[in-house]
Amino acid sequence: MSSLLPWLATLFDLFLVVLGFGLIIVIHELGHFLAARWAGVRVLAFAVGIGKPVFSYRRGIGWRRGSSEPEYLDSMRSRSDISPTEYRFCWLPFGGYVKMLGQEDANPGAVSSAPDSYQNCPIWKRMIIISAGVIANVITAMLLFVFVFMVGLKSEPARIGGVVPGHPASQAIAENPDISAGLLPGDEVAWVDGRVPRHFNDLNLAVVMAARNEPVRLRIRRDGYTEPLAFNVTPKVEPSTGLLAIGVTPARSTRLVELRREADRARFEERMREIGLEGVEPGMRLVEAAGRGPIRDAQELLSLARASQGTLSLTFENDDGRRITRDLTLIPELEIGRAELPGGRIVMIEHLAGLTPVMRVADPDRAQAKGLRQGDIFLRIGAAEYPGLAAGIREIQARKRGRVEVTLLRDSADGVAGSEVSLSLRVNSKGQVGFGVGDTADISTLLARTPEGLRRGEEPEDSPRPLPGSRVPAGSRILSVDDREVSDFASLRAALIDAANTAKHTGDSTAHVSLTLALPGGLVEPWMLTLEQADIDALRALSWRLPFSIELFELEQTFVRGADPVDSILIGLAETRRVMITTYLTFARLFQGTVKVEHLKGPVGIAHLGTRIAERGTIWLLFFMGLVSINLAVINFLPLPLVDGGQFLMLVYEQVRGRPVPLRVQEVISIAGLLLIGAMFLIVTYNDIMGLFAG
């Protein structure tokens, strides 16, 4: 029964989202209804929901099962006390509609000459009727935002938790020449393009909505500086999302994530056992690390790991005060380099002075369906022999919607012994085969071909110097370094660091390292690897990293709340304005190409996103509904056929020309509008469904 509770909670969240979305549409239609009544236009029906009426109410007749319209038509000549307006409650409680005499969006020919018809209403009043739905949605969003910021919205602070090496944030240009380039973990964002961010999403949104190749201006508060620091950072497209990004992540707290599902908790505890943290449970809080405490955030844990000698003592505490201490074995850090793929995509590569491991299969669940197995080593992918990550991705992506031929080394514990297997793998339209990617670093010193143009994260893109490892033949295995046996990249790393330290202590700017290589054909021969000063410095700077992602820790939270009711109202008004501008800007960026059609959400996507947001609590759900309400208002007032904006434009034409748009033109516009909206609905729904299956 307990395993069903999370599913029931998700279904309830979905119900709340659908109900909320439906209410927002009803409020939109209520705006039209009230304006029509004010303007003296006869309203034939106001419906909550769509489809056939389940029951209805009409003044003078009362409640009826189904519609009372036949009864009204039979008695309207003999009775004057019956209202022409029927209030319908339809079988599908999703949205609603208003039916006015002489006005049907999809049927321009449904006109009426009656004095209280829509056509006989003054144009300025019709403009108010058409605009009233949008105004109702804006007012609704405003009220929701004001309430949310009176109570307080729990969100991530505008503080940087992590900076991805090689991404724009790591190369952000400081306006003060005395400040080194790059944002740092712990930096607080005080200002983004002239606006104070209330939470981390404000920073993300400013980046996503930036114009192509235009810098985002930041003011940063940093420990040790009394005044904010000014930075300019130019976003680049993030391949995994297709959106502009700068490569920063929000700060994370010291509390481990809470997990609702038993299966998730079981996987968490199994993972903790694997890395030596047996007994550590979801929801516990890290209180000490390396004998230091209290720990401020997860980023401090990363810093302590880097400063360690390979092990770290961690103490966790639950809400009852029970503590548990475990010694954590850390993972040796490799260098992180950047390589460019076709289309400008940047991929991050682990290496040691350019020596890179060979690509292999890491995810058995997704791989077995393709004929692959966990641990399979790629000897060839397409035309690339002994491919690393960059070469493997390049060869696969070059064969979109086709097949790629691969040769594998199977059942190999050291990258040498095993059986060769050849397969033909199908590549989908996104340039993917469908398996988790790993490498041979933890089992062997087998070397891939160094990616062309590989450079360290801090080196400029036009850096001409090839890394020393690029000269070592692909497919070789390093048997020893300066007569010291090595068996994997961890032992290779230790030997190269010792060589770099020796050069540093003797004052040499270069280090000549003697390697023994086993070449692909079985021949063993010596090789001299020459490390220059940049290579020596990079190797000596290597430290240690955690055997788990800091995403195991909950995001740091802050309350975004007005200081008083007046401040809450001002924040709500400002948020309404910001969301409206952002929504319009989204369409501008859609035409400019920095936002793609697949990023837009339809009903399925909104419902899916809404259920995830509803898990964060009622206040977040209300905030989300405010966003939906504003978006509905903006989309409805776009100058498109069938929506309110298109209807308003035709009223402007009628006001200027003194006559309505010709009926034939209206019919063509309506058909075009139906086709356009139908096509967009199908596209976004398809993308929503594909997104659900993909993630």
Task: Kindly report, residue by residue over 569-628, the tens digit of the pLDDT.
Answer: 888 888 887 777 777 677 666 666 666 666 666 666 667 677 777 777 888 889 888 888
398 and 523, same domain (yes or no)? yes
213 and 296, same domain (yes or no)? no
The domain tally of the chain equals: 3
Q: How many residues does the chain have?
A: 695
User: In this predicted structure, what is the pLDDT of residue 583?
Assistant: 73
496 and 526, same domain (yes or no)? yes
pLDDT above 60 for 566: yes
Q: Which of 554, 588, 613 is the last residue of a domain?
A: 554
435 and 291, same domain (yes or no)? no
187 and 236, same domain (yes or no)? yes
Do residues 49 and 94 make contact, with C-beta atoms less than 8 angstroms apart? yes
User: In this predicted structure, what is the pLDDT of residue 211?
Assistant: 85
Mean pLDDT for 436-443 is: 90
Distance set, CA 431 to CA 244, 401, 423, 425, 585 (Å): 21, 7, 17, 12, 30
Distance set, CA 109 to CA 40, 105, 130, 235, 655 (Å): 21, 10, 18, 50, 20
- Secondary structure (H, E, C), 475-496: CCEEEEECCEECCCHHHHHHHH
Asked, for residue 375, whether it belongs to a domain, the answer is yes
CA distance 382 to 389: 13
Q: What is the CATH number of the domain that holds 305?
A: 2.30.42
Asked, for residue 297, whether it belongs to a domain, the answer is yes
Q: What is the CATH number of the domain that holds 233?
A: 2.30.42.10
Write the pLDDT tens digit of every residue in 460-474.
555 556 889 889 999
216 C-beta neighbours (distance < 10 Å), count = 22
495 and 469, same domain (yes or no)? yes
Across 339-343, 401-405, 465-469, which has the greatest mean pLDDT? 401-405
Range of 199's domain? 160-251+556-560
451 and 503, same domain (yes or no)? yes
Asked, for residue 582, whether it belongs to a domain, the answer is no
300 and 197, same domain (yes or no)? no
Asked, for residue 571, whether it belongs to a domain, the answer is no
Bridge partner list, 237? 244
Asked, for residue 144, whether it belongs to a domain, the answer is no
User: In this predicted structure, what is the pLDDT of residue 604?
Assistant: 65
In degrees and rounded to multiples of 5, residue 586 shows phi and psi of: -60, -45
User: In this predicted structure, what is the pLDDT of residue 562?
Assistant: 85
Write the pLDDT tens digit of every residue in 481-495.
999 999 999 999 999
416 and 503, same domain (yes or no)? yes
Asked, for residue 91, whether it belongs to a domain, the answer is no
227 and 283, same domain (yes or no)? no
275 and 188, same domain (yes or no)? no
CA-based nearest residue to 182, from 203, 201, 167, 204: 167
375 and 486, same domain (yes or no)? yes
Q: Which of 513, 530, 560 is the last residue of a domain?
A: 560
Among 9-13, 59-63, 282-286, 372-376, whose mean pLDDT is lowest? 9-13
pLDDT, the chain, mean:
85
Asked, for residue 69, whether it belongs to a domain, the answer is no
Mean pLDDT for 150-160 is: 89
pTM > 0.85: yes or no: no
Mean pLDDT for 444-472 is: 78
Write the pLDDT tens digit of every residue in 409-420.
998 777 777 889
Asked, for residue 312, whether it belongs to a domain, the answer is yes
